[in-house]
A and B are shown apart, each in its own frame.
Chain A
Protein backbone atom coordinates (compact mmCIF):
# COMPACT_ATOMS: atom_id res chain seq x y z
CA UNK A 1 0.00 0.00 0.00
CA UNK A 2 1.30 3.38 -0.92
CA UNK A 3 0.82 5.59 2.13
CA UNK A 4 1.85 8.75 0.30
CA UNK A 5 -1.33 8.38 -1.71
CA UNK A 6 -3.25 9.54 1.35
CA UNK A 7 -1.34 12.81 1.53
CA UNK A 8 -3.64 13.99 -1.24
CA UNK A 9 -6.92 15.45 0.06
CA UNK A 10 -9.02 13.70 -2.59
CA UNK A 11 -7.63 10.29 -1.65
CA UNK A 12 -7.78 10.95 2.06
CA UNK A 13 -11.47 11.94 1.92
CA UNK A 14 -12.95 8.40 1.71
CA UNK A 15 -10.37 7.00 4.17
CA UNK A 16 -11.35 9.64 6.74
CA UNK A 17 -15.01 8.71 6.21
CA UNK A 18 -14.25 5.07 7.03
CA UNK A 19 -12.22 6.00 10.13
CA UNK A 20 -14.84 8.27 11.77
CA UNK A 21 -17.14 5.60 13.34
CA UNK A 22 -14.09 3.90 14.91
CA UNK A 23 -13.62 7.04 16.97
CA UNK A 24 -17.10 8.50 17.44
CA UNK A 25 -18.76 5.36 18.81
CA UNK A 26 -16.04 4.50 21.40
CA UNK A 27 -16.03 8.21 22.36
CA UNK A 28 -19.75 8.10 23.19
CA UNK A 29 -19.34 4.88 25.18
CA UNK A 30 -16.36 6.23 27.14
CA UNK A 31 -18.15 9.53 27.93
CA UNK A 32 -21.01 7.55 29.51
CA UNK A 33 -18.60 5.19 31.32
CA UNK A 34 -16.41 8.03 32.59
CA UNK A 35 -19.39 9.98 33.93
CA UNK A 36 -20.78 6.84 35.54
CA UNK A 37 -17.51 6.18 37.38
CA UNK A 38 -17.15 9.87 38.23
CA UNK A 39 -20.61 10.30 39.68
CA UNK A 40 -21.56 6.89 41.05
CA UNK A 41 -18.32 5.15 42.01
CA UNK A 42 -15.87 7.92 42.92
CA UNK A 43 -16.47 8.96 46.55
CA UNK A 44 -17.07 12.49 47.84
CA UNK A 45 -13.84 14.40 48.51
CA UNK A 46 -13.43 15.10 52.22
CA UNK A 47 -12.03 18.59 51.58
CA UNK A 48 -14.04 19.86 48.63
CA UNK A 49 -17.21 17.79 48.97
CA UNK A 50 -18.90 17.09 45.67
CA UNK A 51 -17.63 20.29 44.02
CA UNK A 52 -14.49 18.39 42.99
CA UNK A 53 -16.57 16.34 40.51
CA UNK A 54 -16.07 19.19 38.05
CA UNK A 55 -12.55 17.73 37.68
CA UNK A 56 -13.79 14.96 35.38
CA UNK A 57 -14.54 17.45 32.62
CA UNK A 58 -12.27 20.35 33.64
CA UNK A 59 -8.93 18.54 33.57
CA UNK A 60 -9.53 16.57 30.33
CA UNK A 61 -10.76 19.79 28.65
CA UNK A 62 -7.67 21.70 29.81
CA UNK A 63 -5.33 18.92 28.62
CA UNK A 64 -7.09 18.71 25.26
CA UNK A 65 -6.78 22.47 24.83
CA UNK A 66 -2.99 22.19 25.21
CA UNK A 67 -2.48 18.92 23.29
CA UNK A 68 -4.58 20.10 20.38
CA UNK A 69 -2.69 23.38 20.20
CA UNK A 70 0.65 21.58 19.86
CA UNK A 71 -0.86 19.20 17.30
CA UNK A 72 -2.34 22.13 15.37
CA UNK A 73 1.04 23.91 15.33
CA UNK A 74 2.82 20.74 14.11
CA UNK A 75 0.33 20.24 11.27
CA UNK A 76 0.47 23.93 10.37
CA UNK A 77 4.30 23.80 10.33
CA UNK A 78 4.36 20.64 8.18
CA UNK A 79 1.81 22.16 5.81
CA UNK A 80 3.93 25.28 5.49
CA UNK A 81 7.37 23.66 5.25
CA UNK A 82 6.45 20.86 2.82
CA UNK A 83 3.64 22.69 1.02
CA UNK A 84 1.30 19.89 2.15
CA UNK A 85 -2.28 21.06 1.70
CA UNK A 86 -3.82 18.25 3.74
CA UNK A 87 -1.67 19.04 6.78
CA UNK A 88 -2.72 22.70 6.66
CA UNK A 89 -6.38 21.69 6.39
CA UNK A 90 -5.86 19.44 9.40
CA UNK A 91 -4.52 22.42 11.38
CA UNK A 92 -7.61 24.47 10.48
CA UNK A 93 -9.86 21.60 11.47
CA UNK A 94 -8.13 21.12 14.84
CA UNK A 95 -8.30 24.83 15.73
CA UNK A 96 -12.09 24.84 16.30
CA UNK A 97 -12.10 21.80 18.58
CA UNK A 98 -9.05 23.09 20.47
CA UNK A 99 -10.73 26.44 21.03
CA UNK A 100 -13.90 24.68 22.22
CA UNK A 101 -11.98 22.64 24.82
CA UNK A 102 -9.96 25.64 26.00
CA UNK A 103 -13.16 27.64 26.42
CA UNK A 104 -14.66 24.72 28.34
CA UNK A 105 -11.64 24.46 30.65
CA UNK A 106 -11.95 28.17 31.45
CA UNK A 107 -15.69 28.16 32.20
CA UNK A 108 -15.65 24.91 34.19
CA UNK A 109 -12.60 26.23 36.05
CA UNK A 110 -14.55 29.38 36.83
CA UNK A 111 -17.49 27.34 38.12
CA UNK A 112 -15.05 25.37 40.27
CA UNK A 113 -13.17 28.43 41.46
CA UNK A 114 -16.25 30.16 42.85
CA UNK A 115 -17.10 27.56 45.55
CA UNK A 116 -13.49 26.55 46.35
CA UNK A 117 -11.55 29.83 46.05
CA UNK A 118 -14.48 32.21 46.51
CA UNK A 119 -13.94 33.90 43.16
CA UNK A 120 -14.91 33.28 39.52
CA UNK A 121 -11.60 34.55 38.20
CA UNK A 122 -8.14 35.61 39.35
CA UNK A 123 -5.28 36.94 37.21
CA UNK A 124 -3.16 34.02 38.24
CA UNK A 125 -0.40 32.58 36.02
CA UNK A 126 -2.22 29.44 34.98
CA UNK A 127 -5.58 31.10 34.34
CA UNK A 128 -4.03 33.99 32.45
CA UNK A 129 -1.86 31.76 30.25
CA UNK A 130 -4.89 29.58 29.49
CA UNK A 131 -6.86 32.70 28.49
CA UNK A 132 -3.95 33.60 26.18
CA UNK A 133 -4.24 30.09 24.68
CA UNK A 134 -7.91 30.78 23.89
CA UNK A 135 -6.93 34.10 22.29
CA UNK A 136 -4.27 32.31 20.20
CA UNK A 137 -6.90 29.88 18.92
CA UNK A 138 -9.32 32.73 18.18
CA UNK A 139 -6.50 34.65 16.48
CA UNK A 140 -5.66 31.63 14.31
CA UNK A 141 -9.31 31.08 13.35
CA UNK A 142 -10.00 34.74 12.55
CA UNK A 143 -6.73 35.16 10.66
CA UNK A 144 -7.60 32.21 8.44
CA UNK A 145 -11.15 33.48 7.95
CA UNK A 146 -9.88 36.94 6.99
CA UNK A 147 -7.65 35.78 4.11
CA UNK A 148 -9.41 34.65 0.92
CA UNK A 149 -6.61 32.65 -0.68
CA UNK A 150 -6.53 29.37 1.31
CA UNK A 151 -2.79 28.73 0.92
CA UNK A 152 -1.94 32.27 2.05
CA UNK A 153 -4.34 31.82 4.97
CA UNK A 154 -2.55 28.57 5.85
CA UNK A 155 0.86 30.24 5.84
CA UNK A 156 -0.27 33.19 7.95
CA UNK A 157 -1.97 30.81 10.39
CA UNK A 158 1.16 28.66 10.58
CA UNK A 159 3.30 31.61 11.67
CA UNK A 160 0.86 32.48 14.43
CA UNK A 161 0.44 28.85 15.55
CA UNK A 162 4.21 28.21 15.70
CA UNK A 163 5.00 31.40 17.62
CA UNK A 164 2.15 30.66 20.05
CA UNK A 165 3.50 27.21 20.95
CA UNK A 166 5.75 28.89 23.52
CA UNK A 167 2.61 29.47 25.60
CA UNK A 168 1.93 25.74 26.10
CA UNK A 169 4.94 24.96 28.36
CA UNK A 170 4.19 28.21 30.18
CA UNK A 171 0.68 26.92 31.01
CA UNK A 172 2.00 23.51 31.95
CA UNK A 173 4.74 24.69 34.30
CA UNK A 174 2.93 27.81 35.56
CA UNK A 175 1.88 26.08 38.78
CA UNK A 176 5.53 25.29 39.52
CA UNK A 177 7.17 28.50 38.31
CA UNK A 178 4.86 30.95 40.00
CA UNK A 179 3.08 31.00 43.29
CA UNK A 180 -0.45 30.48 42.05
CA UNK A 181 -3.87 29.81 43.46
CA UNK A 182 -4.34 26.94 41.04
CA UNK A 183 -3.58 23.55 42.47
CA UNK A 184 -1.10 21.18 40.87
CA UNK A 185 -3.78 18.97 39.40
CA UNK A 186 -2.67 15.38 39.77
CA UNK A 187 -0.55 15.86 42.89
CA UNK A 188 -3.62 16.18 45.05
CA UNK A 189 -5.02 12.92 43.74
CA UNK A 190 -1.79 10.97 44.05
CA UNK A 191 -1.37 12.35 47.55
CA UNK A 192 -4.44 10.49 48.79
CA UNK A 193 -4.04 6.90 47.76
CA UNK A 194 -7.27 5.77 49.46
CA UNK A 195 -9.49 7.65 47.02
CA UNK A 196 -7.06 7.80 44.12
CA UNK A 197 -8.26 4.85 42.06
CA UNK A 198 -11.88 5.67 41.03
CA UNK A 199 -11.21 9.43 40.74
CA UNK A 200 -8.16 8.91 38.57
CA UNK A 201 -9.91 6.22 36.52
CA UNK A 202 -12.91 8.49 35.83
CA UNK A 203 -10.58 11.33 34.79
CA UNK A 204 -8.52 9.11 32.48
CA UNK A 205 -11.62 7.55 30.91
CA UNK A 206 -13.00 11.05 30.27
CA UNK A 207 -9.64 12.08 28.80
CA UNK A 208 -9.73 9.08 26.45
CA UNK A 209 -13.31 9.98 25.50
CA UNK A 210 -12.26 13.58 24.75
CA UNK A 211 -9.37 12.32 22.58
CA UNK A 212 -11.60 9.99 20.57
CA UNK A 213 -14.24 12.70 20.26
CA UNK A 214 -11.61 15.16 19.01
CA UNK A 215 -10.32 12.74 16.37
CA UNK A 216 -13.88 12.09 15.16
CA UNK A 217 -14.96 15.74 14.88
CA UNK A 218 -11.62 16.83 13.43
CA UNK A 219 -11.94 14.17 10.69
CA UNK A 220 -15.56 15.14 9.94
CA UNK A 221 -14.56 18.81 9.72
CA UNK A 222 -11.51 17.92 7.62
CA UNK A 223 -13.83 16.26 5.11
CA UNK A 224 -15.95 19.44 5.03
CA UNK A 225 -12.84 21.59 4.48
CA UNK A 226 -11.64 19.29 1.66
CA UNK A 227 -15.05 19.56 -0.07
CA UNK A 228 -15.26 23.33 0.43
CA UNK A 229 -11.80 23.92 -0.99
CA UNK A 230 -12.31 21.55 -3.91
CA UNK A 231 -15.57 23.30 -4.74
CA UNK A 232 -13.98 26.73 -4.53
CA UNK A 233 -11.12 25.51 -6.74
CA UNK A 234 -13.61 24.05 -9.24
CA UNK A 235 -15.60 27.29 -9.32
CA UNK A 236 -12.42 29.29 -9.83
CA UNK A 237 -11.30 27.10 -12.74
CA UNK A 238 -14.78 27.35 -14.31
CA UNK A 239 -14.64 31.13 -14.04
CA UNK A 240 -11.27 31.34 -15.78
CA UNK A 241 -12.07 28.73 -18.43
Chain B
Protein backbone atom coordinates (compact mmCIF):
# COMPACT_ATOMS: atom_id res chain seq x y z
CA UNK B 1 0.00 0.00 0.00
CA UNK B 2 1.78 3.08 -1.21
CA UNK B 3 -0.77 5.84 -1.75
CA UNK B 4 -3.86 6.94 0.16
CA UNK B 5 -6.13 5.92 -2.70
CA UNK B 6 -4.62 2.41 -2.53
CA UNK B 7 -5.32 2.48 1.17
CA UNK B 8 -8.98 3.43 0.76
CA UNK B 9 -9.59 0.99 -2.10
CA UNK B 10 -8.17 -1.95 -0.05
CA UNK B 11 -7.19 -3.75 -3.25
CA UNK B 12 -10.85 -3.81 -4.36
CA UNK B 13 -12.13 -5.11 -1.02
CA UNK B 14 -13.04 -1.64 0.31
CA UNK B 15 -16.72 -2.50 0.85
CA UNK B 16 -15.95 -5.61 2.91
CA UNK B 17 -13.02 -4.25 4.90
CA UNK B 18 -14.42 -0.78 5.64
CA UNK B 19 -17.91 -2.24 6.06
CA UNK B 20 -16.56 -4.55 8.78
CA UNK B 21 -14.86 -1.73 10.63
CA UNK B 22 -17.84 0.61 10.25
CA UNK B 23 -20.13 -2.04 11.73
CA UNK B 24 -17.64 -2.63 14.54
CA UNK B 25 -17.60 1.08 15.29
CA UNK B 26 -21.40 1.17 15.29
CA UNK B 27 -21.69 -1.89 17.56
CA UNK B 28 -19.05 -0.75 20.07
CA UNK B 29 -20.08 2.93 19.87
CA UNK B 30 -23.72 1.92 20.22
CA UNK B 31 -23.00 -0.13 23.33
CA UNK B 32 -21.11 2.77 24.92
CA UNK B 33 -23.83 5.28 23.95
CA UNK B 34 -26.68 3.19 25.40
CA UNK B 35 -24.66 2.58 28.55
CA UNK B 36 -23.93 6.29 29.02
CA UNK B 37 -27.63 7.06 28.56
CA UNK B 38 -28.56 4.39 31.12
CA UNK B 39 -26.05 5.87 33.56
CA UNK B 40 -27.31 9.42 33.00
CA UNK B 41 -30.92 8.41 33.62
CA UNK B 42 -29.91 6.68 36.86
CA UNK B 43 -27.93 9.68 38.07
CA UNK B 44 -30.90 11.95 37.37
CA UNK B 45 -33.25 9.69 39.32
CA UNK B 46 -30.93 9.55 42.33
CA UNK B 47 -30.52 13.35 42.24
CA UNK B 48 -34.29 13.83 42.23
CA UNK B 49 -34.59 11.43 45.15
CA UNK B 50 -32.07 13.43 47.13
CA UNK B 51 -34.02 16.64 46.45
CA UNK B 52 -37.30 15.20 47.66
CA UNK B 53 -35.73 13.92 50.86
Contact = CB atoms under 8 A, between A and B. Distances in A.
B31 to A, nearest CB: 5
A108 B1 CA distance: 22
Nearest to A104: B27
A224 B20 contact: no
Contacts of A57: 20-21, 24
Contact of B31 (A44, A51, A96, A231): A96
A213 interface: yes
A51 B16 contact: yes
Contact of B32 (A103, A108, A217): A217
Q: Is the interface of A mostly helix, strand, loop or mixed?
A: helix
B11 A49 contact: yes
**Residues of A in contact with B, size category:** 20 to 34
A121 to B, nearest CB: 14
Contacts of B28: 100, 104, 213
Interface in A126-173: none
Given A57-B20, A220-B39, A51 B13 contact: yes
Interface of A: 35, 39-40, 44, 49-51, 53-54, 57-58, 61, 96-97, 100, 103-104, 107-108, 111-112, 114-115, 213, 217, 220-221, 223-224, 227-228, 231
Interface of B: 1, 7, 10-13, 16-17, 19-21, 23-24, 27-28, 31-32, 35, 38-39, 42, 45-46, 49
Given A53-B17, A224-B39, 17 more contacts: A44-B1, A50-B1, A50-B13, A50-B17, A57-B20, A57-B24, A103-B27, A108-B24, A111-B16, A114-B16, A213-B28, A217-B31, A217-B35, A224-B38, A227-B46, A231-B46, A231-B49
